[in-house]
Chain A
């Protein structure tokens, strides 16, 4: 059922994009995250993300779906727990992308709000990306994420939840500014404490300043494990 909805939604967006000039591509986006809680209450996180394009409106043959590797990202964070609801993390990142392999360092502050029926997570990030042959790219990011339990007032093991997040990103590179936005709707399940599975639609837009305007739509499936 869920896969059918994804396919219908993708076909709708694909057909709509053909009538427009902006760049559009879409595909699959699996991700996996493992977090180890240390004895001193801090955490180490490892994450893998992979993006495969199945449709690109710049392709020669628009009627033919493709299956092309776009990028694979590996990253790791050390997260200092400041108190039960706040943490600060430093991360390193490597991207495998044809002709654009990159390295990145990341600084992050996270803040959790616990309300009666939902939880709100604020994530403030800055990062610096180093790509061969390009000037350093500096980005400022803020992500607001809501986690809403679908059974009862609190999320318990075995239950589903809805996660909605939006993240505007300002980037600066070679004296040029750019804007990007990432909107994500996820249906998740807390399988048991420390194990989550999420299916998401990830809608990314950029090129607001430097044309062409670009949209990327990803069907994500993510596994999050902590121990």
Chain B
């Protein structure tokens, strides 16, 4: 009996020690607005004047870090990414299928139906990138000069071995396929078993 009790106590202690001794490599953490470079805060305020309290995140990777503001505006989720110095990189906005133009829908449908088996649409985002002043003019005054528009679309489809996987595809402003990469869904065995 004593042996089992000691083993259980040891398990609790070891579990606590192991959890506080790990390194973090790639991750995203929530941060306060004052921790964000002034340039990023200023750009966001100029481009999206009505956004009051965005949620800010700092994203770490092996290459460095970047900042991201997330907020909901006019019923749509926005994600604005800045580099480590606060320079705008891109703006992504979630869309519904109905919100796409007829030309984009036709090209996407042609790609999905023509080349993919087991297709199921998961999420659509329109992505705007360009120079900071061009992007600011686009969101502030709807001037499109110098702004690159692409679509990032998440979908399920079969791979070459007929296994259904999750993908993120990049499409041009007309809905033409450019690239795709596989998304790994984090396992949740702790919730299933």
Task: List the interface of chain A (C-beta within 8 A of B).
Answer: 2-3, 28, 30, 33, 35, 41, 43, 45, 47, 52, 67, 69, 75, 77, 79, 81-85, 87, 89, 108, 110, 112, 114, 116, 119, 121, 123, 145, 147, 151-159, 163, 165, 188-189, 191-194, 196-199, 221-224, 226
| A85 lies within 8 A of B185 (CB) | yes
How many A-B pairs have beta carbons closer than 8 Å: the answer is 114
| B193 lies within 8 A of A45 (CB) | yes
Task: Indicate whether B150 reaches chain A with its CB closer than 8 angstroms.
Answer: no
| B189 lies within 8 A of A224 (CB) | yes
Task: List the interface of chain B (C-beta within 8 A of A).
Answer: 1, 4-5, 8, 11-12, 15-16, 18-19, 22-30, 55, 57, 70, 77, 118, 120, 156, 163-166, 185-193
Contact of B12 among A3, A47, A77, A145 (CB under 8 A): A3
Residues of A within 8 A of B25 (CB): 157-158
Contact of B27 among A3, A35, A47, A157 (CB under 8 A): A157
The interface centre, meaning the residue of B22, B26, B188 with most chain A CB atoms within 10 A of its CB, is B188
Contact of A226 among B24, B165, B187 (CB under 8 A): B187
Those 5 A-B pairs whose CB atoms lie nearest each other, nearest first: A158-B24, A156-B27, A152-B28, A121-B191, A83-B164
Residues of B within 8 A of A194 (CB): 187
Minimum C-beta distance from B159 to chain A (A): 10
Residues of B within 8 A of A28 (CB): 8
Residues of A within 8 A of B5 (CB): 52, 67
| A157 lies within 8 A of B192 (CB) | no
How far is B193's CA from A222's CA once the two chains are assembled, in angstroms?
Answer: 11
Please give me the residue from chain B that is nearest to A158 by CB atom. Answer: B24
Residues of B within 8 A of A35 (CB): 187, 189, 193
- A152-B19 CB under 8 A given contacts A83-B164, A121-B191: no
Minimum C-beta distance from A50 to chain B (A): 8
- A41-B191 CB under 8 A given contacts A84-B185, A156-B27, A158-B27: no
| A221 lies within 8 A of B191 (CB) | no
Question: At the interface, is chain B mostly helix, strand, loop or mixed?
Answer: mixed
Residues of A within 8 A of B186 (CB): 155, 193
Please give me the residue from chain A that is nearest to B16 by CB atom. Answer: A2
- A223-B12 CB under 8 A given contacts A77-B193, A87-B192, A159-B24: no
| B15 lies within 8 A of A221 (CB) | yes
Contact of A67 among B1, B27, B191 (CB under 8 A): B1
Residues of B within 8 A of A196 (CB): 190
| A110 lies within 8 A of B4 (CB) | no
Minimum C-beta distance from B165 to chain A (A): 6
The interface centre, meaning the residue of B5, B8, B120, B190 with most chain A CB atoms within 10 A of its CB, is B190
| B164 lies within 8 A of A145 (CB) | no
Please give me the residue from chain A that is nearest to B7 by CB atom. Answer: A30
Contact of B30 among A110, A112, A151, A158 (CB under 8 A): A151
Residues of B within 8 A of A85 (CB): 185
| A199 lies within 8 A of B8 (CB) | no
How far is B29's CA from A188's CA once the two chains are assembled, in angstroms?
Answer: 16
Contact of A112 among B12, B27, B188 (CB under 8 A): B188
How far is B5's CA from A69's CA once the two chains are assembled, in angstroms?
Answer: 10
How far is B26's CA from A159's CA once the two chains are assembled, in angstroms?
Answer: 10
Residues of A within 8 A of B163 (CB): 41, 81
The interface centre, meaning the residue of A194, A198, A221 with most chain B CB atoms within 10 A of its CB, is A221
The interface centre, meaning the residue of B11, B15, B120, B156 with most chain A CB atoms within 10 A of its CB, is B15
How far is B18's CA from A132's CA once the two chains are assembled, in angstroms?
Answer: 42
| B192 lies within 8 A of A191 (CB) | no
